[in-house]
Structure 1
Amino acid sequence: MGKVTGFMEFERIEEGYKPVPERLKHYKEFVIGLDDRQAKVQGARCMDCGTPFCNSGCPVNNIIPDFNDLVYRGDWKDAITVLHSTNNFPEFTGRICPAPCEAACTINVNGDAVGIKSIEHAIIDKAWAEGWVAPQPAKIKTGKKVAVVGSGPAGLAAAQQLARVGHDVTVFEKNSRIGGLLRYGIPDFKMEKSHIDRRVAQMEAEGVVFKTSTLIGTMPEGSKVTNDAKTVISADELKAQFDAVLLTGGSEQSRDLPVPGRDLDGIHFAMEFLPQQNKVNAGDKLKGQIMATGKHVIVIGGGDTGSDCVGTSNRHGAASVTQFEVMPQPPEEENKPLVWPYWPLKLRTSSSHEEGCMREFAISTKAFTGKGGKVTGLTTVQVEFKDGKLVEVAGTEKDYKADLVLLAMGFVNPVATVLEAFGVEKDGRGNAKAHTEFDNGYATNVPKVFAAGDMRRGQSLVVWAIREGRQAARSVDEFLMGYSDLPR
């Protein structure tokens, strides 16, 4: 370990934020990362536990005590080598992962966890600045061809792993730019898209071919999923052209709210609203962009997507922003002895909330109201748990003014047409049915077709997507070659 008494001597150091009035004027990142000295202090706090729960708390099993120690000792180049050994894209996770590793940190039992995420962020940013992130093309080609459908974190991680062991990999993306929900679902102020672009350049140098504006399967009728597809390739064509196909699309079917007035103008899914702003930031010209400027905005859904809608609405210059959550308000502090090392239920306030937002908990929307076909408000009621069910509290109905309503209640499953085009069997939730055991893991019922990421496990975290992409890559490699040297 770094400093034997470091966890007793040093306090946790949080990353900083630029002032709210300054950051609301733009869509660029505003987090102030740790400098070398601060990162060293955080690394010194790591206890190098005999059983480091942070490793298992991290879905990609980052070797956290090792890179913490290397940063403490100033060996940044070895630190990025250790970090890259388990995580293809730490610049993504270091920015947008909620850090379950920190919840599992042993110091977190009765103190403040090591700032693992901030150290990871510092390592990868330094690695890029120093030129340590370089293409790693395969020395020997296998002659095998793999199609990866979907260019989110699962698809990118799988593609990079497969290319590095010598396969010819082509990534197909229905949108005009690579990145999936990283590109179109995560606001630029949380993660600028230059981070994706330079990874794409690295992967192209490793031999990966990217084909954008290309839809695999059939175009969904009436789909509101953002895409710029100009080319459609059938599932049969793809299977004929490639030795293996890996489906890594996102869970893009948004959860709806079928209450009276849902058909009024001004009520949109979050994934209609957020991608538009990202496209405009990238220089695209859009007609009829959904704007929150001067409007009273209601965001229904209390998770990260809802928070992203809050931050974007504030940058538009909304008159007010209110966020609804149907569940009761969680405690401000978790009962650590009860929940550690698992992810705790507690009140989380995001940087977007701090920029201006009213938050309502234990509230359910009963109906939308409107005038001239446009939404003007909604009616709510308070809810509470009774006999294990959420029930309405009598006499608590309330009307809210709303010029724009954004539905951010999560995603139920991938767009069904992709799986149906391949004939992939679905599980009870509408996801691709594929187990994750090592023997033939991630394989679907269709020969040589695999599935990973949100398309297989459902809506989840970026770090889970990277894990699934890496593990699926090993299974595909094993299927093609009879063995695999890729990590599990």
Structure 2
Amino acid sequence: MGKLGGFKEYDRADESNLVVQERVSNYNEFTIPLPKQKIKEQGSRCMDCGIPFCHSACPLGNLIPDFNDMVHQEEWQSALEILQSTNNFPEFTGRLCPAPCEKSCVLGIISEPVAIENIEKNIVERGFAEGWIKPQPPQIRTGKTVAVIGSGPAGLAAAQQLNRAGHLVTVFERDNAIGGLLRYGIPNFKLEKAIIDRRIAILEAEGIVFKTNVNVGVNYSIKQLNSFDAVVLCGGATDKRSLPTRGIESKGVVQAMTFLTQQTKALYGETIPNQITAKGKNVIVIGGGDTGSDCVGTSNRQGAKSVTNFEILPKPPEYRSETTPWPFWPLQLKTSSSHEEGCDRNWLINTKEFISNDKGELTGLKTVEVAWKMTPGQRPELIEKEGSEKIWPCELALLALGFTGPEKTLSDQLGIEIDARNNYKAKNYQTNIQNIFTAGDMRRGQSLIVWAISEGREAAREVDNYLMGYTNLPTKGNGDLPNL
């Protein structure tokens, strides 16, 4: 375990951030790493619980007490081996995961939980800095070919695992760069794209073939997939949710992902005709999740006049709600670094109308305050508060409302069955077509990056077993650890 009684000796320590004025002047990552000694101390806080709920809560089954102990002992290379045995891309999860492991940490019952996510990030960054993370191409090739459609975290994880099994893997991406959601859905200030490029270079050196600007079913015939022994669909849940609200067609009402994608592409030198920008505008972000937070941070960096956030649900409590006790994911107010940079947050607000001028340009929003009526055995009922209507000045409204499921291009052309939630239906990741599998948001609906990686790994096992009649790929939480 970590240091005996270390959780009593050391307090939790997290990375600090550059001051707001400095960090909003650019799109770079802005965290300030802890000294190595502090990271060792954080690993020393782990209690090595008899029943470690932390890795039970992790969709990947990361062996958290094990790598915490190695950090405590300053055995960083061993810590990396343990971490990489279950997680293909800890440099992504160490920056972006909401860390359900920490919410289930036993220490969190009486104190601040172990800083698991930051430890994970430091392990993998140490691995890159020391040159420990190197391409590991398979020694033997099976001759089997696999097409992976989509290069987000699920697709990349599936591709790497299948390549490790010796199969010849080709990844198709419809955009002009690899990464999917990681590339264009996550702002640069949360994940600099060089971090993605660094990993892609390793995957290419391991033998994976990447093809960009290939939209299967659009500019790449479905029939061409017949040349592959197996296909893995990892296209994500990209069908954006909208609002049935008057004036939704006004110029200036924009989907959040469109706004974020344009900014990232422009940042890396692409010409974006008529780029949507928040500069000098009153911006209202509708939706209180992570994507909404990303829109807030991006709007402030673009020079918005004001940034306001609407959420139709009640304001969560500042501390864990009694309705979500440990070790469950807590109902609790989340204040992101983007919120801290400047944002007027409003809860229990419903947008009634998008107001535009005679040119169709957005000039304001009409809202009403609401309440939720809860009746046992019935769906919650939204109640508008009489006399609470208000007009908000707004020239850019960003819809951060999530997604309704995957697009139907592939399912329609391939004949893939879909489930009641509009996701691609699959049993053990295998669709109704024998050699076609699916994973990630396309299979389970919009979810976390850590779930996408887990899905990709699990799907790869099923594909490998289908192709070979057996599989040696590791199961969840069993990374075939080295002898330590």
TM range (shorter): over 0.9
Check the 8 A contact 1:419/1:432 in 2, yes or no: yes
CA RMSD of superposed structures (Å)? 1.0
Partner of 1:245: 231
Other structure's SS at 1:343 match: coil
Show structure 1 runs of 4+ deviating over 2 A: 335-338
Partner of 2:18: 18
Give the number of aligned pairs: 469
Matched, 1:469 2:456: yes
Partner of 1:405: 397
Check the 8 A contact 2:321/2:331 in 1, yes or no: no
- Correspondences of 1:88-487 after superposition (within 5 Å): 88-218=88-218, 232-238=219-225, 240-335=226-321, 339-371=325-357, 372-386=359-373, 387=375, 388-435=380-427, 441-487=428-474
Cα deviation for residue 307 of structure 1 reads 0.3
The worse-fitting range, judged by mean Cα deviation, of 243-252 and 328-337 is 328-337
Other structure's SS at 1:420 match: helix
Distance in 2, matches of 1:422 and 1:197, equals 31
The worse-fitting range, judged by mean Cα deviation, of 417-426 and 451-460 is 417-426
C-alpha spacing 1:470/1:261, structure 2 compared with 1 (3 Å): same
Other structure's SS at 2:257 match: helix
Partner of 2:2: 2
Cα deviation for residue 124 of structure 1 reads 0.6
Distance in 2, matches of 1:35 and 1:474, equals 39
One-letter amino acid of the counterpart of residue 98, structure 1:
P
Distance in 1, matches of 2:437 and 2:369, equals 44
Distance in 1, matches of 2:171 and 2:99, equals 28
Check the 8 A contact 1:35/1:122 in 2, yes or no: no
TM-score normalised according to structure 2 size: 0.96
The unaligned stretches of length 5 or more in structure 2 are 476-484
The worse-fitting range, judged by mean Cα deviation, of 471-480 and 278-287 is 278-287
Check the 8 A contact 1:248/1:455 in 2, yes or no: yes
Cα deviation for residue 250 of structure 1 reads 1.2
Check the 8 A contact 1:234/1:421 in 2, yes or no: no
Cα deviation for residue 338 of structure 1 reads 5.2
Other structure's SS at 2:129 match: helix
Distance in 1, matches of 2:401 and 2:51, equals 37
Other structure's SS at 1:214 match: coil
User: Between the two proteins, what is the percent identity of the paired residues?
Assistant: 57
Cα deviation for residue 421 of structure 1 reads 1.6
C-alpha spacing 1:406/1:149, structure 2 compared with 1 (3 Å): same
Other structure's SS at 1:262 match: coil
Check the 8 A contact 2:148/2:169 in 1, yes or no: yes
Cα deviation for residue 236 of structure 1 reads 2.3
Other structure's SS at 2:307 match: strand
The one-character-per-residue Cα deviations of 1:154-208 (angstroms, maximum 9, x if unpaired) are 0000000111111000000000000001100000000001111111110111110
The one-character-per-residue Cα deviations of 1:246-282 (angstroms, maximum 9, x if unpaired) are 0001111111012111111000000110000110111
Check the 8 A contact 2:42/2:119 in 1, yes or no: yes
Check the 8 A contact 1:155/1:469 in 2, yes or no: yes
The one-character-per-residue Cα deviations of 1:41-94 (angstroms, maximum 9, x if unpaired) are 100100000000001111101000000000010000000000000000000000
Distance in 2, matches of 1:267 and 1:11, equals 46
Distance in 2, matches of 1:212 and 1:75, equals 39
C-alpha spacing 1:106/1:235, structure 2 compared with 1 (3 Å): same
